Amino acid sequence: MEKLRGLSLFANVGIAEAYFSEIGIDMRVANELIEKRARFYKEIYHETDMVCGDITNELVRDEVVNKAIKEHVNFVIATPPCQGMSVAGSRYNFDERNQLIYYAIDVIKRVNPEYVLLENVPRQLKTKIIVDGNEIGIPEYINNELGDFYNFNSETLIKAKDYGVPQLRQRNIFLLVRKDKSVAWDFPEKKEEITLEEAIGDLPPLDPTLREGIEFTHSKFPDYEKKKEAGLKVSKWHRPMVHSWKQVEWMIHTATGTSAIFNDVYYPQKEGGIHIKAHHNHYRRLSWDKPSRTITQNNGVMSSLCCVHPGRPYECENEILYSDPRVLTIYELLIVMSLPLNWNIPEWAEESFIRRVIGEGIPSKLVKVLMLELLKQI
């Protein structure tokens, strides 16, 4: 079988590449702008030559291209930042991050790999960039630049939940095969969905650590320490999250699959009981009977989009309340993002940083499935 030698552009911390060595893909070169992420990547993937720098800088881009050519790279994966297009982002017209596809295409044309995986949010299909002073849609631009040299997959919209990942996460993915290769690369057959109940339902429940202090935490959650100990027996990453009591109280009174903004009494509010205006997916608990909603970079904050643990109902003083008034733990995020549970997260990485880079990643098993389909065709 032909060996794939890869280049990763906008590599983040290497979430997409988590299973590559397992399936025989040799990542030779990677590029990441942010030094902290590049360091994380290098500590996990020791053999990959990481070029830390701005791909819009011609000297950095030349270094990436030259190293890729020297290493006989025949596969490129490019996952440009999506915040300029994401539904969860601000979506400014012609956000400079949307222009990064221009530099990725330049690298691809110069390296001339046999296979390319280009990933971004679905809104990429409707997003325009400025090239040579003219507006052009990103799909049209990609086709104009690469269509003479590559065959494209027939369908480009894909949901991670259809390929063994317990998370919705819809993405737009272009799979490119150089025209001199007699290979057809398309999405494989869909798999059965994995619900959150199946994915994380057997994990020990956890009470949050309250910002008001440990004594206050114990007063509100008498079993806090016992639950914490049970969680840590599973993993050091299955540990209590820190939240304020007011938000925790709102979520205790919020049923599985619903948002606290619809509560009659314990709803998100400012001083004086003024109702906080929020999207219907803010302060929302996930559902047990479905895959997780898309994990965002702000997954450590309960007010973010649909990131609170589903919880279990229990009776207290003739009232039905719900356990686990907290966001998902990092261990639960590893499962929902389909990362290996023994993924070697560096000791120096703080939790907020880990959560952000995971939220910006593409689910590892989704990429694995796509690459296995290519390897099968090869």
Q: Which of 52, 82, 306, 307 is catalytic?
A: 82
For residues 373 and 216, give the distance between their C-alpha atoms in angstroms, rounded to a whole number. 53
For residues 313 and 321, give the distance between their C-alpha atoms in angstroms, rounded to a whole number. 6
For residues 358 and 364, give the distance between their C-alpha atoms in angstroms, rounded to a whole number. 10
Can you say whether residue 267 is alpha, beta or left, with left for phi > 0 and alpha for psi between -120 and 50 degrees? beta
- What the block records as the tokens of 33 is 């702008």
Within 8 A by CB and 6+ apart from 344, the residues are 43, 44
Backbone angles phi, psi at 83, to 5 degrees: -60, -30
- On whether the CB atoms of residues 373 and 187 are closer than 8 A, the answer is yes
For residues 348 and 148, give the distance between their C-alpha atoms in angstroms, rounded to a whole number. 46
DSSP H helices in 50-195: 58-70, 100-111, 138-146
Is there a catalytic annotation at residue 82? yes
DSSP letter string over 15-63? STTTTTGGGTEEEEEEEESSHHHHHHHHHH-TTSEEEES-TTSHHHHHH
Q: Which residue has the tokens 């360091």?
A: 39
Helix (H) or strand (E) holding 321: strand 319-322
- On whether the CB atoms of residues 354 and 237 are closer than 8 A, the answer is no
Q: Give catalytic residue positions.
A: 82
